[in-house]
Structure 1
């Protein structure tokens, strides 16, 4: 499989760094419309030390953060927003369908529904082996340069 963006290229776009950079690579990218990115979940993640000892589960909020980071890449690859920073403005209709555990490969899909000025909405879905792990609707805000 060909990667559209590597982890290094992702870090050139978004400000997130270890331990809170959750995108390993980008599979597909349609600027201004849709992205599919990948997060490989390993037992070495810092959050597994406390969530939960003996029963490691990726926190739901970090699944949403991973989706938001994928969205940031999509937004910042759009010509009108180059060089800017994307922020979460709101999260609606969040649902968690199954646990994400060490060894899982999470596919992160973020699709822009509408943009007006520097504010937009998007649908986001995280899947593991083709099954929904989480989904939500994001409102995002793109900061000024």
Structure 2
């Protein structure tokens, strides 16, 4: 079987070249507290639609005590969330989608290929596959621990009208 093609070779990513830390990421991503799934952005090529970042996993992650007690494993859905947040960062930072807010539209071809534990650095790479301004974006993503691919797939992000969300939040108190 042929070796899996990388979106960006994990060995080529300079993890010490932090382009954006958490404060810069927060300018473009609305998630906060336990839902923040990025620590830093280390590669950003908006023309190629290629971006890389990482999440340093701590023992204090909200899922550690319950998934699974005595042998905590990062839930696959959290790896997908990290990939979505990475993709959102790039799209919003560069105004590619021309949307006030981006939300999950779907996941395809997702495969989990390895274990991620507290103490690991999860490196995520995302590549834009398709873009319809003000509508949706499709990205391929790959997640790594060291040089090992632990997750891959495709995600769809959709434009969410901020006014509707804010109204729903105030109405549903």
1:2 and 1:80 mapped to 2: Cα distance? 24
CA RMSD of aligned residues (A): 1.5
C-alpha deviations, 1:118-141, integer Å up to 9, x for none? 212110111111111101111111
| DSSP-derived class of the 2:60 partner | coil
2:66 and 2:19 mapped to 1: Cα distance? 34
Q: Which of 51, 54, 73 pairs up with 1:35?
A: 51
Alignment pair present for 1:119 and 2:136:
yes
| TM-score, normalised with respect to structure 1 | 0.93
Aligned pairs for 1:87-106 within 5 A: 87-106=103-122
Report the CA distance between 1:67 and its aligned residue: 0.6
Gaps of 5+ in 1: none
Q: Which of 2, 5, 9 pairs up with 2:24?
A: 9
Higher normalized strand content (fraction of residues):
1
Q: What is the match of residue 165 of structure 2?
A: none
- Greater Rg by CA: 2
Alignment pair present for 1:135 and 2:146:
no
| DSSP-derived class of the 2:44 partner | strand
| DSSP-derived class of the 1:111 partner | strand
1:105 and 1:125 mapped to 2: Cα distance? 14
* Structure-2 change in CA distance of 1:67 and 1:80 (3 Å): closer
Alignment pair present for 1:62 and 2:78:
yes
Q: What is the match of residue 44 of structure 1?
A: 60
Contact 2:143 2:149 in 1 (8 A): yes
| TM-score, normalised with respect to structure 2 | 0.79
Contact 1:41 1:105 in 2 (8 A): yes
Count of matched residue pairs:
145
Q: What is the match of residue 20 of structure 1?
A: 35
1:49 and 1:80 mapped to 2: Cα distance? 38
Report the CA distance between 1:144 and its aligned residue: 4.3
Gaps of 5+ in 2: 1-15, 163-173
1:144 and 1:70 mapped to 2: Cα distance? 20
